[in-house]
Structure 1
Amino acid sequence: MASDDKGTKKEVIRQKMLEQHHEARVVRKIVSIISILMLLLIVVIGGGGYLYIQSALKPVDSTSKNQKTIEIPLGSSVTGIGQKLEANGIIKNAKVFKYYVKLKNEGGFMAGDYQLSPSMDVAEIVSRLKTGKVLAKASFKIAIPEGKQLSEIAAIMAKSTNQKEEDVFTKLNDKEFIKTLMAKYPDILTDEVLHSTVKYPLEGYLFPATYPFYKPNPSVEEVVTAMLDKTRNVLSNYAEKSKEKNLSVHQLLTMASLVEEEATEKADRKTIASVFYNRMKKGMPLQTDPTVLYAQGKHKDRVLYEDLEVDSPYNTYKNTGLPPGPIASAGKDSIEAALEPQATDYYYFLATAEGNVIFTKTLEEHNQEKAKHITNKK
């Protein structure tokens, strides 16, 4: 009996050893499979990352014949340049551009207006930015001064491109044309521009600047595209500030246009903006004369009392808050004033014949200054 028990025990031990050995083989096999899978995953991820980076360094569209004017301001960071290039469809990825520049120890990019294309790879773009290889000699230039309205811009465009002013202005207000632009520039052209109360959809959106063109008689679309590219580039510098102030692009350009139209060379735009914001906070109408003239479609040196009765949503004597849209194209100074107004307790201002602007806190003070400086009353 004892012998049988010993045999049974040995058999049990042997079976356990066999089971443990089998389990160990299974575990080793599982570990091996997991290791192989992890290795493959690393290879795939690494290879995919490498391929992605290689792709990002190549042209966005090697067959593209389009060129865009990209402004690189003085003191621009590599991050800022990359973001601007990506936003304009010149490169695929701003971060890859940044790491490429750092890895290659590139730098010393020169400020200027560059003619860049989606057909260029990152290496060529970096080379141009380093050498300051800016625009080729322009065939001609279109200069749009600050404070110009859409009708005036249309006249300048028509004269510069040998087109009829009426045709240009009609094109600028064609709804189908506007919709194609909205699809191309969804970040700046929203449904607000097509609101029923807005007089001209593109009013205030064509940035005042000098635009070079490299072939004679470009189309209206080509000219407008260059202008909207500039608008997008400029506004991209103020995106965070606009978000902080809870201002849409439309609201920002509207406020900036009011500042632009009221400002003189000697005026402090930020203080003018403060007056507008102070009045809006108190629920007071803005009562700015340029909106009345815009509603009438007139250009006059002096607004008369009868002008203030014009029935229009743009009449800021009859309506509170901002008008439905911009009334002119504002420059950078006015945009910055709209975003960073001076902290004041002024509610009135008055421009003198000499171009000075007098700010006052009360209506009584305002009327006193008006009596001093405005001899020919409305």
Structure 2
Amino acid sequence: MTDVLPALAPSPPAESPRAPQEESELFAEDDEYADYDEYGDYEDYDESEYDEEYDDYDEEPGRPRKKKGKRALGWIAAIAVIALLAGGAWYGFNKFFGYEDFDGAGTDDVVFQVDDGDTTSAIGAKLASAGVVASTKAFVKAGEGNPKLARVQHGFYVMKSHMSGASAVDRITDAAARVGQLEIRPYTQFDDITQPDGKVTPGVYSLMAKASCAQLNGKSTCVSADDLRKAVDAADLKQLGVPDWAIEPANKADRKDRRLEGLIAPGVYDVKPGSTAQEILTQLVRSSAEAIQNAGLTPQSAGPEMTPYQTLIIASIIEREAVKADFGKLSRVIYNRLKINMRLQMDSTVNYVLDRPTLLTDEGERAKSGAYNTYKNTGLPPTPIAVASVDAIKAAVKPPDGDWVYFVKCEKNGLSCFAVTNDEHNRNRDLARQRGVI
């Protein structure tokens, strides 16, 4: 018998090109395999049967069989797709869950600033931008569960470049890393004060000098108190940011380095290490001008028949002479004395030029001439004599009603006794002596 070859099924007609579908480009590149997906005729096709039945026959000349080659290409494409998907998954995992991190405690010193209200993530992003850590996540992950990190305050910190996230967290939560912190309290004056026991209380100049100090890569950033004093002496007050209402009277100070007295508000300031004396002063004066205005002292809101600068002088005397509970009454005493052209007779103004705290003065000290001697001169001294608090400024702007003209400290807690007549005042003085206050 003669073997008869079965007729081969005619090839499907060629299709015109199709618009791209939304599948991944990796799956759309091999059109030959895409065509097979559309025909149901091949769903029940068993390739093994075909192979067994026709393995003994030679291929028809001119019509090479491609099915096995296509099958091999399909496996290669599938493996390639799987590899690409795996690589993409790994990239995505690293992108969303992994992070870069440096090793070790870092290299060069870097001055880094934390702003008020910065979150841990915000700090981490800034550290990454500054080259301190490799990524935000390196810092955030290292700080998880660390309660100290939530207590990091605004200010300047000396960090290192290329720190690991863990090292950066340890350093920024270490109190020694914070630099440039300047606290100015009410009652402080620009010059140092020597206490009765010989202890020196630093003034604004010394406090600014100390705040300027840091060690950056082995070099000191300190600006000395003398450098700051010289800068005030030579400064243009307007360029420093002194309010317009204070420039003219402040320039009448007996010494140029006293022109900023009273114009620095109490508070906590951040001084950037490496700043010049001029930059430090400008920052403090401009911030203080805003604080003084917020305390209620402006050209439109000053003490009765007083300029803003005169009101600030009164506030500084109140700060040095009284405790907070007596601010209002003492303010009224000052206004009443000025109204009747009575000398203020304040020991605090005499002691101001002696760089001493507010204590009783003797006859020899009260007899010395000088612009700040309110025992010899009528009116106000030429400048404020100290940093005035918000409460002292408010008392100077709005003194309470009263006829008091005299006062004397009569209690050991600092409270004073106030009087309208001299006889009443003398009785208060006797009471103060009995109590051992004076």
Q: Give deviations 1:307-352, integer Å, cap 9, x for gaps.
A: 1112112111111111111011101111111000010010011113
Q: Give deviations 1:8-45, integer Å, cap 9, x for gaps.
A: xxxxxxxxxxxxxxxxxxxxxxxxxxxxxxxxxxxxxx
Q: Which residue number corresponds to residue 156 of structure 2?
A: 138
Match of 2:209 among 158, 161, 165: 158
The letter of the residue matching 2:317 is L
Q: Give deviations 1:199-248, integer Å, cap 9, x for gaps.
A: 611111111111124x3243222322222223221233432653573433
Q: Which residue number corresponds to residue 356 of structure 2?
A: 298
Match of 1:308 among 345, 352, 366: 366
**Separation in structure 2 between the aligned mates of residue 344 and residue 172 of structure 1, nearest angstrom:** 43
Percent of aligned positions with the same letter in both sequences? 30
Task: Report the CA distance shift for 1:235/1:159 in structure 2 as closer, same or farther (over 3 A).
Answer: closer
Q: Which residue number corresponds to residue 367 of structure 1?
A: 426
Q: State the structure with bigger RCO (CA 8 A, min sep 6), 1 or 2.
A: 1
Task: Report the CA distance shift for 1:261/1:369 in structure 2 as closer, same or farther (over 3 A).
Answer: same
- CA-based RMSD of the aligned residues comes to 3.0
Match of 2:264 among 198, 206, 228: 206
Q: Does the CA-based 8 Å contact 2:321-2:358 persist in structure 1?
A: no
Q: Does the CA-based 8 Å contact 2:265-2:292 persist in structure 1?
A: no
**Separation in structure 1 between the aligned mates of residue 238 and residue 337 of structure 2, nearest angstrom:** 37
**Separation in structure 1 between the aligned mates of residue 418 and residue 255 of structure 2, nearest angstrom:** 30
**Separation in structure 2 between the aligned mates of residue 335 and residue 296 of structure 1, nearest angstrom:** 24
Q: Does the CA-based 8 Å contact 1:208-1:330 persist in structure 2?
A: yes
SS in 1 for 2:376: coil
**Separation in structure 2 between the aligned mates of residue 367 and residue 169 of structure 1, nearest angstrom:** 45
**Separation in structure 1 between the aligned mates of residue 289 and residue 225 of structure 2, nearest angstrom:** 27
Task: Report the CA distance shift for 1:191/1:299 in structure 2 as closer, same or farther (over 3 A).
Answer: same
1:197 aligns with 2:254: yes
Q: TM-score, with normalisation over the residues of structure 1?
A: 0.58
Q: Which residue number corresponds to residue 174 of structure 1?
A: 233
Q: Does the CA-based 8 Å contact 1:178-1:201 persist in structure 2?
A: no
Equivalent pairs counted in the alignment come to 245
Q: Does the CA-based 8 Å contact 2:366-2:373 persist in structure 1?
A: yes
More helix by share: 1
Task: Report the CA distance shift for 1:198/1:251 in structure 2 as closer, same or farther (over 3 A).
Answer: farther
**Separation in structure 1 between the aligned mates of residue 425 and residue 377 of structure 2, nearest angstrom:** 21
**Separation in structure 1 between the aligned mates of residue 394 and residue 409 of structure 2, nearest angstrom:** 21
Task: Report the CA distance shift for 1:143/1:186 in structure 2 as closer, same or farther (over 3 A).
Answer: closer
Alpha-carbon offset, residue 154 of structure 1: 0.4
Q: Does the CA-based 8 Å contact 1:295-1:310 persist in structure 2?
A: no
Q: Does the CA-based 8 Å contact 1:242-1:252 persist in structure 2?
A: no
Alpha-carbon offset, residue 298 of structure 1: 3.2
If you compute each CA radius of gyration, which structure gives the higher value, 1 or 2? 2
Alpha-carbon offset, residue 196 of structure 1: 5.3
Q: TM-score, with normalisation over the residues of structure 2?
A: 0.51
SS in 2 for 1:147: coil
1:280 aligns with 2:338: yes
Q: Which residue number corresponds to residue 281 of structure 2?
A: 224
1:7-156 → structure 2 map (5 Å cutoff): 136-139=154-157, 140=179, 141-151=181-191, 152-156=203-207
SS in 1 for 2:244: coil
Q: Does the CA-based 8 Å contact 1:192-1:250 persist in structure 2?
A: yes
Task: Report the CA distance shift for 1:254/1:361 in structure 2 as closer, same or farther (over 3 A).
Answer: same
Q: Which residue number corresponds to residue 400 of structure 2?
A: 342
* Structure 2 residue runs without a partner (length 5+): 1-112, 117-152, 158-178, 192-202, 214-221
SS in 1 for 2:301: helix
